[in-house]
Amino acid sequence: MRALLLAIILSLAVLSPAHAMLPDEVLPNPALEARARAISAELRCLVCQNQSIDDSDAPLARDLRIIVRERLLAGDTDTQVRDFVVARYGEFVLLRPVLAAHTIVLWIAAPLVLILGMAGVVLAARRRSAVLATTTIPSALTPEEEAALARLQERDR
Amino acid sequence: MIIELGHFALVLAFALSVVSAIVGFTFRGSSAQVTLFLRHAALLQFLLVGAAFAALVQAFVVSDFSLALAYQHSHSLQPLLYKVTSVWGNHEGSMLLWVLILVLFGAAVAAFGRPLPFDLLALVLAMQGLMVAAFAGFTLFTSNPFMRMVPAPFEGEDLNPVLQDIGLAIHPPLLYMGYVGFSICFSFAIAALISGRIDAAWARWVRPWTLISWTFLTLGIAMGSYWAYYELGWGGWWFWDPVENASFMPWLAGTALLHSAIVMEKRNALKIWTVFLAIITFSLSLLGTFLVRSGILTSVHTFASDPTRGMVILTMLGLFIGGAFTLFAMRANALRAGGLFHPLSREGALVLNNLFLATATGAVLVGTLYPLVLDALTGQAISVGAPFFDLTFSALMVPLLILLPFGPFLAWKRGDLVGIVQRLAGAAALALFCAILVAALSGASISLAPLGLLLGFWVMFGAIAELVEKARFGRLPIGQSFRRLFGLPRTAYSTTLAHFGMGVTVIGIVAASAWEMERVVAMNPGDTQTLAGYTIGFEGLTEEPGPNFAAEHGTFAITAPGGGTRQAIAERRVYVASGQPTTEAAIETYGFSQVYIQLGEVAANGSHVVRLWYKPYVTLIWLGCVLMALAGFISLSYRRMRVAAPTPSRRKTVPAE
């Protein structure tokens, strides 16, 4: 599977060795540079297969990294920088999807599954204890089979 | 001629699997003779597909470019190893590998399944036959690896250079062993549903197959991760790529299955859930195959433009998964009953484990499929990347890991929480001490990293505490405790080792993510840089011809903080056939940490772009996985004895529970 991933990355990405950021891009202000890196890690390289612009060596990714740094130098906040990029390249560029009507299912899926799962577990436990309290459940095994199983288990001890 | 023989062997295997499926489902319960036939058929299928695969390997080894597949994916100058691995470094060949491993597992069931009730075995083998028919048929009719070219080209087009690595020899076979192994659990689940019989003995048959698949899948994923780490050249080890998620989902579900099958075997509870998980786990393997093989991941539009393979796999997926769930819905109620347990018990803990693992599987599934579905329904393109998965997944894993050490301490049926808290207090204190120590040594900043470390150490020491408790250290004379320790069954060791490995991986992930250091610099020969106390000098560049590529070797001298200098070589390569450039990073390991050097392009002024990383404790990520897999093998070595050949008398051991 990974084999294929590697192949796809290489065939889609521009064919040059993987080395993302170049020395000349680094901002002199370390605080600003750290913000630039953090933003870059959450922006998708549009011509690559699931790579952030921080990781990608494609020229487009480089252009985006430079845009991010230019906006930061111009005094934009992190949100303003992201909005700037989204306005030009669309929501596809965000590796962390926004929380909106069309992504609500995505964001609430995991908590919902967990809550429903917990409810299911509690209900099943209640029902089982209720059933077991009132009736005796016939064993799925015949008495001979029970004996054979007991012998086997005894032997494994 | 050999290629045609191989082709014919695959056709025969396909025909035989169709016959197996028909005969098996029609006459399954009628006599032991039918089962004997099915067992022989399963062994024969393995021999036939093995012959087909061998024929393909032979064509690649001798560089027979009249075989279209060899022409497209091999080259006469490739070293022998890569000629062999080229066989599965492409769609058609990897499908044949898939089928080969499927029939291997079928043959293993046929060989080791003699003690099984004959009607159950017949159903399992019939189901395997059906799957072989589907996948061998898919390979033959849509992805035939045996196509010839006339006239035969003189030279091949070469395997993708990134795949020319030892990783391709190890990673796909291991991963497929895991993926496909779960088909056995699936077949057992179907057999249980059809026959309506499911009990502790069933769980005991299924557990070794779950364990073997899980163990190989663990190794396969870890190997893939390490391969990406050293090959792709930026030192990332997990990207939450859909292709990775495709292998990770069966692992999560398989881990849940491994634990629920214990409850079923020991306590005859969670039957329906275990059958459900067995179906889900293999369904996720099939989904992964579909996602990767159909091309739908690159884009839904690629899928629409060449839909044959994708549609066929989607149909197979629908039939197998849909059929299984229909059967499940119809028959699950027949599998009622089970042991009663208090919520605060070993069973209860394993239910929680399953709840979190199943939710995590669901979260990864939704995150992977959501962009595809949204694009297909509304045409809206969004990305769901690493930041989303990191957040969702860790939110689910943290509570699971906090609770993990409690599980093995709880008694079956009803546990005593107060007593356990007392017994785990030592482990918790030790974990706190180690987390503070490591954080302090690593120069901790104010972040979540020390808490992550605490979690990892908690899991590790909690696992050890379990062994200490079982041997009654501190409560019995020390000699007696050691006797108890050595007398423990191997499964007790494997539980501890697997959980310990999990903790090791957590620490690796936390440390490597939090304290990684990176520097991008322009260097000329003679230049020196320092990073995390390491001095890295660029000594020079030499031209080194490779077998099928031209390489430049950049030599670096790395001086560790404690003294001692090592030479490391980072490469830039250009492959002859494709003209494609790649890089090979220089990686030096110091303890559990690594210095990672990548030699990039030549800058305008003639200097070389060099990226340097210090990756603290990064090897723990994979070391932990190896420990988990080792635990699987240890448990298997014990279980195989119990399942395949129960010995009449055994030496006395201390009961595990």
* A133 in the same domain as A80: no
**Residues 47-66 of chain A whose Cβ lies under 8 A from any Cβ of chain B:** 49-52, 55
Pick the more confident residue, A123 or B220: B220
Which residues does residue B566 pair with via DSSP β-bridges, in sequence order? Answer: B558
Nearest to B94 by CA among B230, B284, B289: B289
For residue B531, give the H/E element and its range: strand B528-531
Q: Please say if the pLDDT value at position B25 is more than 80.
A: yes
Q: At what angle do helices B271-294 and B200-231 cross, to 10 degrees?
A: 30
Q: What would you report as the CA-atom Rg of chain A, rounded to the nearest whole angstrom?
A: 28
B233 touching A (Cβ < 8 Å): yes
Residues contacting residue A128 through CB under 8 Å, at least 6 positions apart: B338, B340
Mean pLDDT of A14-37: 69
* A78 in the same domain as A63: yes
Query: If you measure CA to CA, which chain B residue comes closest to A9?
Result: B232
Cα four-point dihedral sign B447, B451, B456, B460: positive
For residue A28, the Cα-to-chain-centroid distance in whole angstroms is: 32
Which one of B162, B175, B386 has the shortest CB-CB distance to A7? B162
Mean pLDDT of B143-164: 89
Q: How far apart are CA B97 and CA B86, in angstroms?
A: 12
- The pLDDT, as a whole number, for residue B442 is 67
Q: How far apart are CA A3 and CA B550, in angstroms?
A: 23
A vs B: CB pairs below 8 A: 202
B521 touching A (Cβ < 8 Å): yes
- State which amino acid sits at residue B398: V
Pick the more confident residue, B582 or B283: B283
Cα four-point dihedral sign B308, B314, B317, B322: negative
- Residue range B535-575, pLDDT digits in tens: 999 999 999 888 889 999 999 999 998 888 999 999 999 99
Q: Please say if the pLDDT value at position B436 is more than 90.
A: no
**CB of B402 closer than 8 Å to CB of B427:** no
Query: Residue B361 — pLDDT band, cuts 50, 70, 90?
Result: very high
**Residues 549-578 of chain B whose Cβ lies under 8 A from any Cβ of chain A:** 572
Q: Which of B203-207, B268-272, B582-586 has the lowest mean pLDDT?
A: B268-272
**CB of B59 closer than 8 Å to CB of B84:** no
Q: Which of B429-433, B506-510, B639-643 has the lowest mean pLDDT?
A: B639-643
Which one of A2, A15, A102 has the shortest CB-CB distance to B380? A102
Nearest to B656 by CA among B501, B500, B487: B487
B277 touching A (Cβ < 8 Å): no
* A114 in the same domain as A149: yes
CATH code of the domain in which A19 resides: 1.10.8.640
* A106 in the same domain as A92: no
| Å between B215 CA and nearest CA of chain A | 17
Q: Please say if the pLDDT value at position B109 is more than 50.
A: yes
| Å between B401 CA and nearest CA of chain A | 16
* A72 in the same domain as A28: yes
Pick the more confident residue, B362 or B489: B362
| Distances B645 to A146, B116, B488, B637 between C-alpha atoms, Å | 20, 12, 21, 12
Mean pLDDT of B16-31: 89
Nearest to B574 by CA among B601, B535, B555: B601
**Residues 13-52 of chain B whose Cβ lies under 8 A from any Cβ of chain A:** none
Q: How far apart are CA B618 and CA B511, in angstroms?
A: 7
Residues of A in contact with B175 (CB under 8 A): 1-2
Query: If you measure CA to CA, which chain A residue comes closest to B88?
Result: A3
- Residue range A112-144, pLDDT digits in tens: 999 999 998 888 778 777 765 665 545 566 777
For residue A124, give the H/E element and its range: helix A104-134
Q: How far apart are CA B3 and CA A110, in angstroms?
A: 50
Query: Residue B450 — pLDDT band, cuts 50, 70, 90?
Result: confident
A103 touching B (Cβ < 8 Å): yes
Query: If you measure CA to CA, which chain B residue comes closest to A8?
Result: B298
* A140 in the same domain as A88: no
- Residue range B253-278, pLDDT digits in tens: 999 999 998 888 888 778 888 999 99
Mean pLDDT of B22-48: 91
| Distances B194 to B6, B205, B573 between C-alpha atoms, Å | 36, 17, 57
Domain boundary among A47, A78, A96: A96
Average pLDDT of chain B, as a whole number: 87
* A129 in the same domain as A80: no
Residue B343 CB burial class (10 angstroms; 0-12, 13-18, ≥19):
middle
- The pLDDT, as a whole number, for residue A131 is 65
- The pLDDT, as a whole number, for residue B646 is 39
- The pLDDT, as a whole number, for residue A156 is 60
Task: Provide the 10 A C-beta neighbour count for residue B646.
Answer: 13
Instruction: Indicate the number of domains in chain A.
Output: 2
Pick the more confident residue, B635 or A14: B635
What the block records as the tokens of B342 is 């208090």
- The pLDDT, as a whole number, for residue A9 is 41
| Distances B110 to B40, B120, B304, B320, B459 between C-alpha atoms, Å | 8, 12, 40, 22, 39
Asked if B298's CB is within 8 angstroms of A109's CB, the reply is no
| Å between B45 CA and nearest CA of chain A | 25
- Residue range B389-415, pLDDT digits in tens: 999 998 999 999 999 988 888 878 777
Q: Please say if the pLDDT value at position B337 is more than 60.
A: no
For residue B484, give the H/E element and its range: helix B478-487
* Domain extent for A72: 2-96
* A83 in the same domain as A22: yes
Pick the more confident residue, B307 or A148: A148
Cis status of the peptide bond prior to B151, with omega within 30 of 0:
yes
Mutate to test the interface with B, among A6, A14, A103, A118 (most CBs of B within 10 A): A6
- The pLDDT, as a whole number, for residue B58 is 95
- The pLDDT, as a whole number, for residue A12 is 36
Domain boundary among A79, A96, A113: A96
Task: Provide the 10 A C-beta neighbour count for residue A34.
Answer: 11
- Edge-to-edge strand ranges of the sheet holding B517-523: B517-523, B608-615, B593-602, B586-590
Query: Residue B644 — pLDDT band, cuts 50, 70, 90?
Result: very low
Nearest to B507 by CA among B578, B449, B421: B449
* A55 in the same domain as A106: no
A130 touching B (Cβ < 8 Å): no
Q: Please say if the pLDDT value at position A59 is more than 60.
A: yes
Q: Please say if the pLDDT value at position B648 is more than 50.
A: no
* A152 in the same domain as A107: yes
* A115 in the same domain as A59: no
φ, ψ (nearest 5 deg) of residue B572: -120, 130
Residues of B in contact with A118 (CB under 8 A): 355
A19 touching B (Cβ < 8 Å): yes
Residue whose tokens read 């390569």: B573
**CB of B422 closer than 8 Å to CB of B451:** no
- The pLDDT, as a whole number, for residue B570 is 93
* A91 in the same domain as A17: yes
Domain boundary among A48, A72, A96: A96
